[in-house]
Structure 1
Amino acid sequence: MQVPAEASATTGSAASTAANGTEPLQQQWTPELAIPKSILSLPAPLSFFRILRFLKTQRRTGWLDKGIQHGNAESISDHMYRMAVMSMLAPPEDNLDSRKCAMIALVHDLAEAVVGDLTPSDPVGADEKHRRERETMNYLADLIRPLNPDAASQLYTLYLEYEEMSTPEARFVKDLDKFEFLLQTVEYEMDVLEGKEDKKVELADFFKARSKIKHPLVKQWLGQLEDERKNVVGL
């Protein structure tokens, strides 16, 4: 898991000493504990913008766990940006709001700037992961609410919409999330063939995610990707 370099409690709980000095107390994770103090002391929106930087510097954990070189591993913002551009191709015949799709794509992993890119292999369980992400989104919305209440409300609403898959736009973006992940998988497989990554890197098991893609247009794109993978990678 990649976390802000200055943060001390992004994973696990912060430990403190009990009053009798014998038993450690576990302090529940909060965004304020995870965000560096140097940023907490800044006024909004500068503090908000500085937090967003972590999306640019944190590498996606799944690639690092598989052996992709740190310098080649995509950042969280890399992933969200390509998804947002893909969202512009939302089919108008489905009455999807492409602008809304793009905005969902840009906020769906926003909490990872503070929480980190947690995976099932992390000791933090799924329920705790979702709690941290929701608290972070509440914190970020509250941070900018005095400056722009509409933007704050939209930030949290779009995130929640994606988490709950409550609208056609959210479900479309969820498929884009899986497709972008598979697209990046194939690109890394090509890097392995070209000697840009270690030949021991094995990503084929990631392609199990293809069965989760439901939207006809995204499934069409997936078919093109699978054809390319077969022709170039041989899988």
Structure 2
Amino acid sequence: MRNVMIHHRVFFCCTKPLSILPSLSPPHLHLSYSAAAAAASSPNRAIHCMANDSPLSQPLTGGDGSVSVPPPSPASSAIDFLSLCSRLKTTPRAGWGKRDVKNPESIADHMYRMGLMALISSDIPGVNTDTCIKMAIVHDIAEAEEIAELWREYEANASPEAKVVKDFDKLELILQALEYEQEQGKDLEEFFESTAGKFQTDIGKAWALEIASRRRKQQ
């Protein structure tokens, strides 16, 4: 998202695919989490977790003094990843806070409703619903081989699914803006202006018109 759209991504660097999505292969992921790095991260900055040693595995020292790191188990890798993802549940989307919105949604809140948008729009010709759902869930995370590929596809706007999910990203934004206006009496016109005319798909345009219509009725 650009302009005033709220953008906050969490990046995970991996050595091999992680079995988070159904079609991914078993995990062989080494993750390192730095408390110092986490403390230095602000709500407006992405969190960078570099591929390294599993935090649940300790180096083993051999008789010759050499150090070896045992590979983490699939379960260990999965739980490491999911623990890092917990930040998505508690990190508010930065743009709302800048506009004094109280109790703003988290990154996970945003991605969840985008996933529901993809789920209920399953009849779009030429669009793979499963891909849309996956892309909606991971569009704010760059991780693993398949997820990274979906993220690159989303960023490049390179497929029908990417165009649909790009529209869902903007739709969720203006729907949330409308709800904050209703609940808190805010004027969030800038979000509607920044997305106007930028919807690429029929469903995006139709849903945007519906949201705009409901907003006009409340004014």
Alignment TM-score > 0.5, same fold: yes
Indicate yes or no: 2:112 matched with 1:81: yes
What's the TM-score once normalised by structure 2's chain length? 0.67
Q: Secondary structure at the match of 1:45?
A: helix
Q: 1 CA distance for matches of 2:105 and 2:177? A: 11
Q: CA deviation at 1:47?
A: 1.0
Of the three residues 107, 125, 134, the one matched with 1:103 is: 134
Indicate yes or no: 2:216 matched with 1:230: yes
Q: 2 CA distance for matches of 1:32 and 1:68? A: 33
Instruction: Determine if contact 1:66/1:202 at 8 Å carries over to the other structure.
Output: no
Q: 1 CA distance for matches of 2:203 and 2:85? A: 31
Q: CA deviation at 1:92?
A: 3.0
Q: CA deviation at 1:228?
A: 0.8
Instruction: Determine if contact 1:89/1:98 at 8 Å carries over to the other structure.
Output: no
Runs of 5+ in structure 1 lacking a partner? 12-28, 111-136, 142-152, 194-200
Q: Which residue of 1 aligns with 2:188?
A: 203
Q: Which residue of 1 aligns with 2:55?
A: 41
What's the TM-score once normalised by structure 1's chain length? 0.63
Q: Which residue of 1 aligns with 2:156?
A: 164
Change (3 A) 1:93 1:107: closer
Q: 2 CA distance for matches of 1:91 and 1:56? A: 26
Q: Secondary structure at the match of 2:120?
A: coil
Of the three residues 183, 190, 204, the one matched with 1:218 is: 204
Q: Which residue of 2 aligns with 1:32?
A: 50
Q: CA deviation at 1:96?
A: 0.6
Runs of 5+ in structure 2 lacking a partner? 1-6, 11-32, 57-75
Map 1:15-164 → 2, pairs under 5 A: 30-32=48-50, 41-42=55-56, 43-69=76-102, 72-90=103-121, 92-110=123-141, 137=142, 140-141=143-144, 153-164=145-156
Q: CA deviation at 1:89?
A: 3.2
Instruction: Determine if contact 1:80/1:105 at 8 Å carries over to the other structure.
Output: yes
Q: 1 CA distance for matches of 2:101 and 2:167? A: 24
Instruction: Determine if contact 1:213/1:219 at 8 Å carries over to the other structure.
Output: yes
Number of aligned residue pairs: 164
Change (3 A) 1:76 1:211: same
Change (3 A) 1:85 1:229: same
